[in-house]
Amino acid sequence: MSESTPVYIVTGGAGFIGANLVAELLRREPDAHIYIVDDFRTGSYANIVEALERAGLPPFTGSVLSDSVGELNWQPALLGLQPKAVFHLAAITDTLEFNEQKMLRDNTEPFADILEACVECDVPLVYASSAATYGSPPQADEHTPFPLEAAGKPNNIYGFSKWLMDTEVFRFFKQRQAEGEPLPHVVGLRYFNVFGPGEARKGKMASMVYHLSNQILDGKRPRLFKMGEHQRDQIFVEDVVACTLAGAKPGITPGVYNLGSGQTTSFNDIVDAINEALGTSVEAEYFDMPEAMIPTYQHYTCADMSETKKGLNWAPSWSPMDAMIRYARMIANERSNARTTTKA
Answer for the pair 129, 115: CB distance below 8 angstroms, yes or no.
no
Alpha-carbon span 22 to 58, nearest angstrom: 12
Residue 86 and residue 126 in contact, taking contact as beta carbons nearer than 8 Å: yes
What is the spatial distance between Cα 192 and Cα 121, in angstroms, rounded to a whole number?
30
Other CB atoms within a 10 A radius of the CB of residue 82 amount to 12
Residues assigned a catalytic role = 158, 202
> Which residues partner with 287 through β-bridges?
225
The set of residues, in sequence order, having a beta carbon less than 8 Å from that of 144 and lying 6+ positions away, is: 302
- For residue 227, say if its preceding peptide bond is cis, omega within 30 degrees of 0: yes
> Which are the contacts of 226, defined by CB distance < 8 A and separation ≥ 6?
286, 287, 288, 289
d(CA 21, CA 37) in angstroms, rounded, equals 13
What is the rounded distance in angstroms from the CA atom of residue 255 to the CA atom of residue 126? 10
Residues 179, 181, 182, 186, CA torsion sign: negative
Q: Which amino acid is at 132?
A: A
